[in-house]
Amino acid sequence: MGTLTGLNSRTITGHLVTLLEYPRWLIDRDVDFTDCHLSGDYEAGDSTCVDCDFGRACRWLAANRDVPTLESPLEELIEALTTAANYVRRAHGAAAGHDRRCDCDTCAWLREANNFLRARRHRA
């Protein structure tokens, strides 16, 4: 890998915290709260939220708005990464021109996230 430097990359949790930075930025950029009657304040019981196009992304943002710390439970971070990877894959997969060799930031992040999740699964 070699792309991660500093204290954060030395532990699994640190690596996850670093990996979660990109989707937080990306999803925050993707989601448009202009027409949101809750101003992006996701509410599970709200019928508008259930049908909203941004539902999954918005829910993720609401749950991950705060930057995780090295004390965050590992399972929570893995769950957040899994959801983010699924979202990014779907949102990004719709755009043309991204194949296995693409090295744009999003594809590079997806590959890294998938590698990490795959490695975790084998260990579990």
Q: What is the binding site for Zn ion (CB under 5 A)?
A: 98, 102, 104, 107
Q: Which is nearer to Zn ion, 71 or 103 (CB)?
A: 103
Q: Which is nearer to Zn ion, 102 or 119 (CB)?
A: 102
* CA terminus-to-terminus distance, the chain: 22
| C-beta of residue 16 within 8 angstroms of C-beta of residue 68 | yes
Shortest CB 101 distance to Zn ion, Å: 9
Phi, psi of 101, deg, nearest 5: -95, -5
What's the token pair of residue 21?
Answer: 């930075």
Q: Which is nearer to Zn ion, 80 or 110 (CB)?
A: 110
Shortest CB 55 distance to Zn ion, Å: 24
Shortest CB 97 distance to Zn ion, Å: 7
Shortest CB 115 distance to Zn ion, Å: 16
If DSSP codes are grouped into helix, strand and coil, which group holds residue 78?
Answer: helix
Among 84, 92, 63, smallest CA distance to 21 is for 84
Q: Which is nearer to Zn ion, 59 or 98 (CB)?
A: 98
